[in-house]
Structures are given as C-alpha cells and as structure tokens.
C-alpha cells in the first residue's frame, strides 16, 4: 500500500514541465493522499499552474492535494522529494546575454551548454544557476535532509557535481536526451522493442556503447545506412530543430570517435560545426539544428505557444482540462523514479549520479550519466561498458576541466580565471575582445550582485 508523500516542485512556473509531472502523477495514480507543493517566484504563473492541477485531479477523481507558495522553505519543509526545474532569470536573461556576446564577435555563445571542442563563455548566468542549485540543496539539508533531489534544469552535469560535493543531499540528475537512440531505430526501420542499448558519459555527452537488435550487434546496420542511404536522407529530409540525431554532425562524430553520439551530444560536436549559420546548416540540416538562430528561435516560439495554451486553459473554467491534456504517461523519468523508490516498482533508468568507479577513468567526485536500476533500496548500477580512451581523452576530460575551471572561479571570485577561460575560446581574436565582453556581461543589471563578487563593480 502506497504511503502519502510530499513532492516539492521548485520553479513550478515552468508550465509545460509542471503539467507533464501532474499528468504523469495522475496517469500512474501511484501516490494517493500525497501533496504536491508548487513553488515559484512568479506569482501569476504559480497561480495558473496550481489552478490547472487542481482542476485536473478533480476531473479524474484522483486523491492528490496541491499547494502553492512563493516561499522555498515552505515548499521544502518535510518533503520526501524535491524536483528542481528552476532556471535563474529564464530565457529572457539568456537571450540578452547572448546578444551582448554576439556584439563582441562570439557567435551563438550561451552559458548552459558548451561545445566540447572549445571553452564555453563563462557567462555570469551560469554562476547564477550554480548559486541557485546550491541554495536549494543547502535549504534541503535544513528542512528535508532525507529527501531525494531530482535535478531537471540545466546544467545537470555541473550542477549535480557541485551539489553532491558541497552538500549531503541525495541527488539524481535527469535528462531525456538518451531517447535519441529511438530516432536511430526509427530511421533504420527497427522495432524499438527489440533494441537493446547502453549509453554512458556525462550529461549531454553520452555515447552508444551497446547497440543490439534482436540479440545481435546492430552497429553494422548503422554503417550500412551511412554507406547506402545517408546522403539521400540528408538531401531530402526536413528535420525539426530538435531532430539532430541522424545528422551529418552525428555521423562525423561517430566516424572520428568510433561510437555514435546520442541526444544532446550531437548538438555539442566540434567548433567547426558551429562557426556560422552556413556551417550549422551543413552539419545539422536546413534549420541549422537546435542551436542556430533559426532552430533556437523556433524552439522559443514553440515554448511560448505551449505555455500560452496551458495558461489559456488554466484561466478558462469551462474547458475540461483532461480533454485537452489527456492523462497519459510521458517519457519523463521523474514520476517512475519516485514510484520505484516509494512503492518498489523496480525500473531501469538513465540517470546522473556521482561516479563510484562506474567510469574507471573519471574521478569519483564527478557526476556521470549511466544506466541504473532503482527500487525501494535505492540505486543499483550493473556492469558498465567502458568508453574508449579516445572519447575519454578528447571529450570527457576537456569537459571536466572546463567544469573545474568554472567551479574555481565560482568559489574564489577570481576574474583572472574568467579571462583565462575566454582566451581559450576559438572565437576570441584578441585579449581586448575578451576583456570588453566580460565588462559588458557584468554591466548587465541582472548580474549586479555577481559583478560585485568578481570585482567588476564596487
């Protein structure tokens, strides 16, 4: 018999994500009598998602209680699970900082991800995220020390590593990028139920270490597709901005590194894939992929439309919410993981957790992405197929060093470290260019507090 639990959702104003969680909770119907507490700093969005959730369970007759608060302490107190989807400043701040960078010659620079072929810009925005994540984890130590933190917002790799180093909180980082293997199966015409995979690495840097179909190695099927069908596919396909899995960029990475990149890994790639819109179109298709000005613009527009739709329904009491958003399980792993830990519904997941010898060339205080089984006794990681040295040395190690440089700057306020990182960026042509960019980034009003920390203002 399931026991009632409390789930706190931090950043619940992320309406599409919060609605997905509500739908999954209702579709699973695994937590009767439980309380979900929405917390956000945006009261209008908070009220809307709370209204929508209450109507949703009422229409289905499911015993879930929803609370709302602007106070993080209230949300966290006595919680069993905390889901952090908060993004400091949101996309508006991110886009403003991107615009500043582009004025200084840093095409499409942004702070939450970075091409592993070079150093990402050490945007103050990323440091805001680190501070927010640490603040949440430290508050959990006070108000719900035994709770699990399910980290949803980026950067999952850096953020989870930082929180597990600095706090005692149990952290699981969650991303859905690993589902990219299903796109490989679709393009190859394979029944996904007969596909067996393993993927490991860092979040947004995972590789297909095992790819079997009906019990046999299926990598030759990828090779055959590349040899006989890829060029025609690239000539005729019209992918959405998010459909990068079978792009030229993915195949070129596979040919160089020997394993197929999965999900967001494809977006990273080499700097040469990202130097211009023309380069992006060559490697990622007609839209230039997720991270081009075209693709990212369409993503933001789609996100806005989805949020507008959700809030329109939330503010119209005449609409049956469940008819617009049917209670069907998504592919998000958050609710199934909670169900495994609480109700012992054992399941297999792709998660981000501290390394404990799973990837042998990576320090144990670094979070890695691995397949794992979860049940009431916790997380169980089986035998992991090791990544080849070529990937460890040229992909994972450089990304790890970037992370450590950012952590050093974040902890010390050393502005020299910021400049040193900028000078490693292939877009930097002169020292003065990098210095002027940092000055501009730290003059942005949202960054005022952290600008004082780094000594850019008194």
Contacts of 203 (CB under 8 A, 6+ apart): 155, 156, 157, 160, 173, 175, 177, 264, 352, 367, 369
Q: How do the residues of the chain divide into helix, strand and coil, expressed in percent and rounded to 5?
A: 50, 15, 35
**Separation between Cα atoms, residue 281 and residue 274, nearest integer Å:** 9
Q: Which residues of the chain have pLDDT under 50?
A: 111-119
- Annotated catalytic residue within 264, 274, 334, 425: 264
Residue 116 is predicted with a pLDDT of 47
Residue 425 is predicted with a pLDDT of 87
Q: Is 317 exposed, middle or buried (0-12, 13-18, 19+ CB in 10 A)?
A: exposed
Q: Is 176 a catalytic residue?
A: yes
Alpha carbon 358 to chain centroid, angstroms? 21
**Separation between Cα atoms, residue 187 and residue 347, nearest integer Å:** 27
Q: What is the per-residue burial (b if ≥16 Cβ within 10 Å, else e) of 353-362?
A: bbbeebbeeb
Q: Residues 270, 117: contact at Cβ < 8 Å?
A: yes
- Annotated catalytic residue within 176, 302, 424, 440: 176
174, 369, 382, 391 from 352: Cα distances, Å: 6, 4, 14, 18
Residue 50 is predicted with a pLDDT of 96
Residue 121 is predicted with a pLDDT of 57
Residue 122 is predicted with a pLDDT of 54
Over the stretch 220-250, which tens digit does the pLDDT of each residue have? Answer: 999 999 999 999 999 998 888 889 999 999 9
Alpha carbon 330 to chain centroid, angstroms? 16
Residue 111 is predicted with a pLDDT of 41
DSSP-based three-state secondary structure for 94: helix
**Separation between Cα atoms, residue 88 and residue 50, nearest integer Å:** 21
**Separation between Cα atoms, residue 173 and residue 229, nearest integer Å:** 36
Residue 119 is predicted with a pLDDT of 43
**Separation between Cα atoms, residue 228 and residue 218, nearest integer Å:** 16
Between vectors from CA 92 to CA 7 and to CA 317, what angle results, nearest 5°? 55
What radius of gyration, in Å, describes the C-alpha atoms of the chain? Answer: 22
**Separation between Cα atoms, residue 143 and residue 82, nearest integer Å:** 11
Over the stretch 254-274, which tens digit does the pLDDT of each residue have? Answer: 999 999 999 999 998 898 999
Alpha carbon 127 to chain centroid, angstroms? 16
Contacts of 350 (CB under 8 A, 6+ apart): 175, 178, 199, 333, 369, 370, 371, 372
Contacts of 245 (CB under 8 A, 6+ apart): 180, 183, 184, 187, 262, 263, 266
Q: What is the per-residue burial (b if ≥16 Cβ within 10 Å, else e) of 45-62?
A: bbbbbbbbbbbbbeeeeb
Q: Residues 48, 15: contact at Cβ < 8 Å?
A: yes
Over the stretch 93-148, which tens digit does the pLDDT of each residue have? Answer: 888 988 999 999 999 865 434 444 444 555 566 899 999 999 999 999 999 999 99
**Separation between Cα atoms, residue 408 and residue 399, nearest integer Å:** 14
H/E stretch holding 217? strand 216-217
Residue 126 is predicted with a pLDDT of 83
Q: Is 193 a catalytic residue?
A: no
């Amino acid at each position: 018999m399931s026991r009632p639990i409390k789930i706190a959702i931090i950043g619940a104003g992320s309406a599409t994500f919060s609605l997905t969680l509500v739908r999954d909770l209702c579709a699973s119907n695994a937590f009767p009598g439980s309380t979900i507490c929405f917390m956000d700093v945006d009261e209008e969005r908070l009220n809307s998602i709370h209204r929508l959730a209450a109507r949703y369970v009422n229409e289905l007759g499911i015993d879930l209680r929803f609370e709302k608060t602007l106070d993080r302490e209230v949300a966290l107190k006595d919680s069993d699970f905390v889901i952090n989807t908060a993004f400091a400043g949101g996309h508006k701040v991110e886009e403003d900082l991107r615009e500043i960078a582009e004025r200084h010659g840093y095409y499409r620079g942004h702070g939450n991800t970075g091409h592993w072929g070079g150093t990402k810009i050490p945007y103050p925005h990323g440091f805001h995220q680190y501070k927010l994540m640490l603040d949440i984890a430290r508050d959990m130590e006070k108000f719900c020390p035994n709770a699990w933190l399910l980290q949803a917002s980026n950067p999952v790799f850096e953020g989870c590593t930082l929180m597990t180093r600095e706090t005692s909180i149990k952290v699981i980082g969650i991303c859905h990028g690993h589902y990219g293997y299903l796109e490989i199966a679709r393009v190859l015409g394979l029944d996904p139920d007969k596909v067996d995979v393993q993927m490991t690495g860092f979040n947004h840097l995972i590789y297909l270490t095992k790819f079997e179909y009906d019990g046999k190695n299926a990598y030759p099927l990828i090779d055959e597709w590349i040899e006989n069908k890829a060029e025609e596919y690239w000539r005729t396909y019209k992918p959405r901005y998010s459909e990068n899995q079978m792009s030229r960029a993915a195949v070129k990475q596979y040919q160089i590194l020997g394993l197929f990149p999965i999900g967001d890994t494809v977006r990273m790639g080499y700097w040469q894939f990202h130097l211009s819109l023309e380069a992006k179109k060559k490697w990622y298709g007609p839209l230039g992929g997720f991270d081009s000005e075209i693709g990212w613009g369409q993503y933001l527009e789609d996100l806005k439309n989805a949020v507008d739709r959700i809030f329109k329904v939330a503010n119209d009491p005449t609409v049956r919410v469940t008819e617009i958003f049917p209670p069907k399980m998504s592919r998000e792993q958050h609710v199934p993981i909670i169900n495994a830990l609480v109700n012992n519904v054992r399941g297999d997941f792709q998660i981000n957790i501290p390394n404990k010898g799973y990837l042998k060339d990576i320090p144990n205080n670094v979070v890695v992405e691995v397949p794992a089984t979860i049940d009431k006794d916790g997380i169980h990681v089986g035998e992991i197929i090791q990544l080849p040295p070529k990937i460890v040395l040229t992909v994972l190690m450089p990304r790890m060093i970037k992370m450590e440089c950012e952590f050093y700057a974040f902890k010390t306020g050393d502005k020299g470290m910021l400049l040193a990182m900028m000078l490693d960026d292939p877009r930097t042509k002169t020292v003065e260019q990098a210095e002027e960019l940092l000055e501009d980034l730290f003059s942005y009003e949202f960054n005022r507090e952290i600008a004082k920390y780094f000594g850019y203002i008194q």
